[in-house]
């Protein structure tokens, strides 16, 4: 798309919803950026506590299942339930992200076997890269809930699953 002589790139994928959780109107927004996923869950008119959740990595590859760290960037630091939301959500995001799929077309020639993505092929190979070898999604979570009960937690996770962008 061209606007004012400049090519515009499509924006990040974003979905939102307004649902009733625990009898309270709750605004949900999920946006997938290139380097992280930003999720807002708010029952008030502001963002509330901002939490970063990342998958730990020493060499660029995931260091193992369940190796996540959370950090409160802004807001309440006295409620551990908020970090539980962030950790659970970043785990769900990374478990539900599909493996990278790469299609390689194999074409036989007299001299050698050549792999090409555009030429005619005699066989198709599908290479699945497991999640451990793909870049894990980091999470930035803005959370502002009136109630942090277990029932609210489950309702929030169900509602986020309906608008997931990961």
Q: What is the pLDDT of residue 137?
A: 82
39 and 141 in contact (C-beta within 8 Å)? yes
The SS3 of residue 158 is helix
Q: Which two tokens stand for residue 78?
A: 């006295």
Q: Is residue 4 part of a domain?
A: no
Q: Are residues 52 and 120 in the same domain?
A: no
Domain count, the chain: 2
Distance CA 40, CA 60 (A): 28
Q: Is residue 34 part of a domain?
A: yes
Q: Are residues 129 and 139 in the same domain?
A: no
Task: Report DSSP letters for 59-99, one per residue.
Answer: SSSB-STT-EEEEEEES--S-HHHHHHHHHHHHHHHHHSPP
Give the structural domain span for 115: 98-133
Q: What is the pLDDT of residue 66?
A: 58
Question: Mean pLDDT, the chain, as a whole number?
Answer: 77
Distance CA 97, CA 162 (A): 15
Q: Which residue has the higher pLDDT, 5 or 34?
A: 34
Q: Which strands, in side-by-side order, build the sheet including 100-108?
A: 113-116, 100-108, 123-129
Q: Which helix (H) or strand (E) holds 5?
A: none
Residue 131 has pLDDT above 70, yes or no: no
Q: What is the pLDDT of residue 133?
A: 36
Q: Are residues 104 and 149 in the same domain?
A: no
Q: Are residues 126 and 47 in the same domain?
A: no
Q: Are residues 102 and 127 in the same domain?
A: yes
Q: What is the pLDDT of residue 68?
A: 86
Q: Which helix (H) or strand (E) holds 55?
A: strand 49-55
Q: Are residues 115 and 153 in the same domain?
A: no
Q: Are residues 127 and 154 in the same domain?
A: no
The SS3 of residue 15 is strand
55-87 tens-digit pLDDT? 876 555 544 555 889 999 999 999 899 999 999
Please state the length of the chain.
Answer: 166
Q: Is residue 129 part of a domain?
A: yes
Q: What is the mean pLDDT of residues 144-148?
A: 92
96-125 tens-digit pLDDT? 765 444 434 444 444 444 444 444 433 343
Q: Which helix (H) or strand (E) holds 125?
A: strand 123-129
């Amino acid at each position: 798309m061209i606007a004012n002589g400049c090519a515009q790139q499509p924006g990040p994928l974003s979905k939102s919803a307004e649902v009733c959780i625990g009898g309270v109107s709750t605004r949900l927004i999920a946006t997938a950026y290139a380097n992280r996923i930003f999720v807002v869950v708010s029952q008030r008119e502001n963002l509330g506590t901002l939490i970063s959740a990342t998958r730990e990595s020493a060499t660029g590859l995931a260091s193992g299942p369940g190796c996540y760290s959370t950090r409160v960037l802004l807001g309440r630091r006295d409620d551990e339930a908020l970090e539980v939301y962030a950790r659970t959500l970043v785990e769900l995001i990374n478990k539900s992200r599909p493996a990278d799929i790469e299609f390689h077309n194999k074409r036989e020639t007299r001299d050698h076997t050549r792999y090409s993505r555009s030429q005619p092929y005699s066989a198709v190979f599908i290479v699945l890269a497991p999640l451990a070898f793909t870049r894990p999604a980091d999470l930035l979570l803005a959370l502002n809930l009136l109630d942090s009960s277990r029932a609210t937690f489950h309702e929030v996770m169900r509602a986020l699953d309906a608008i997931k962008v990961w």
